[in-house]
Amino acid sequence: MKSFLGRKTELQKLSSEYKRESSFVVMYGRCRVGKTTLIKEFIKDKKALYFLSTSELEINNRNRFIKSIADFTGMPYLKNSNFDNWYDIFEIIVNYQPEEKKIIVIDEFQYLVNANPSFTSIFQRIWDDILKDNNIMVILCGSYISMMTTQVLHYSSPLYGRRTCQMKLKPLKFTEIKEGFRNLRFNELVSLYAVTGGVPKYLEFFDNNLGFFENIKNEILDKNGFLYEEPTFLLQKEVRETMTYFSMIQTIADNNHKLSKIASALEVPATKLTPYIKTLMDLSLVEKRIPVTEKNPSKSKKGLYYIEDNFIEFWFRFVYPYKSELEMENIQYVVDKIKNNLIDNHVSFVYEDICREQFVNQSSELGFIISKIGSYWDSKVEIDIVAIDNDNKKLIVGECKYLNKPMKDSVFYNLIEKADSIKGYDDYDKVYVLFSLNGFEDRIMNINNTRNDLILFDNNK
């Protein structure tokens, strides 16, 4: 895999911030999502001071920061200097080559706040009095989403209102990882994305020289594997009641998507789960899905909860249920279970997300201006993809089939029938979109030649 993939939008945004006279960027996201890699890619050709704070006493971090400044400014005597406050330290940076644009990066910012809860107030004064008017770009980066949200971004934080940009970094998109694995066939890439979720660090551990299931065996199923306990570690860093959150995710992984069903499975009132669900959504571990055609989504009663992170969903479906076997080192037994169920119970659903991404990426070429995209369901019908083009009054409905054979024409005719169940868009023209992993039968190809309301995506090409 290439050392740096994707992130074009994020790099463009950072470049835009860099052009400001002064800027204050807050970047956050879960561990291993690639924040540090993105920052280092951005600053590699710029005058930048990068500092990684660690989980130690404030004085230790401050002394290491002084040493970083000594190297940055070429003033080695600073390494032996003693500073009892941060204010004077930052003044050194400002006074060093003041005519030059400089970037100050503090990575894992939450550790400084852990060491000194008043550090956000200290840094507020430093920004207001020293940094903001001196052609400096500040990047505060953190891996603990909950802490970065409450201590830096929340309105109660002393730093509230100072930022000029905030970036919540998420895993790479499917289209972004394609360039790093050009040797893989499309279906292999889909499986890789379904398991790793596009998390850069996870992708690094998948050895191109080994088979797909061999990588799963080594990195996820082996007790000594890097990802064997990853979800547990992630939750322990972010929340206190780990067992409650763990149980909720497991319940959703067991196909309980309504809040009432989740509550029933856990034997607690649904109202008690609301704050936990919100936290899981803030952490981008769980998402609430609503039929895309709902006119007032915030008041819709059709919301369903799904695991948002592909790796977390994979782990809770194929690792956690077999922990006893894995602890007994019956790894091959679990590998066989995964082989028999991975496509139907996981990959095929991730493929739907990939198809939506594909359509959005090509929508402008196809002449659409997409206002919303998602899926649709009611008590009788489910439609994989529904997109709304309000400008052109088009309703795009689509079906995705992850099959090892060409798609039949019956899929198209069934889609037409299902699309008729969508209400409230009678004055919109319907456009049908079919996505197939392994092409289409001749009948569909012939239909496509005679209709201008059918679009085919053949992922076998």
DSSP characters over 217-257 = IIIIISTTSTTTTHHHHHHHHH-S-HHHHHHHHHHHHTT--
The whole-number pLDDT of residue 2 equals: 58
Q: Residue 25, CB half-sphere, CA atoms under 13 Å: how many?
A: 29
Q: Give 143-173 as a DSSP string.
A: S-HHHHIIIIISTTSTTTTT-SEEEE--PPP
Q: Is the dihedral of CA 378, 357, 282, 124 positive or negative?
A: negative
Mind listing the domains of the chain with CATH numbers?
8-168 (3.40.50.300), 176-350 (1.10.10.10), 363-458 (3.40.1350.10)
Digit-by-digit pLDDT tens for the chain (461 residues) are 557 889 999 999 999 999 999 999 999 999 999 999 999 999 999 999 999 999 999 999 999 999 999 999 999 999 888 888 999 999 999 999 999 999 999 999 999 999 999 999 999 999 999 999 999 999 999 998 988 998 899 999 999 999 999 999 999 999 999 888 888 899 999 999 999 999 999 999 898 889 999 999 999 999 999 999 999 999 998 998 999 999 999 999 999 999 999 999 999 999 999 999 999 999 999 999 999 999 888 888 899 999 999 999 999 999 999 999 999 999 999 999 999 999 999 999 999 999 999 999 999 999 999 999 999 999 899 999 999 999 999 999 999 999 999 999 999 999 999 999 999 999 999 999 999 999 999 999 999 999 999 999 999 87
Output 381-385 pairs: Cβ under 8 A, ≥24 positions apart. 381/418, 381/421, 382/418, 383/415, 383/418, 383/419, 383/422, 384/352, 384/355, 385/352, 385/355, 385/356, 385/359, 385/433, 385/435
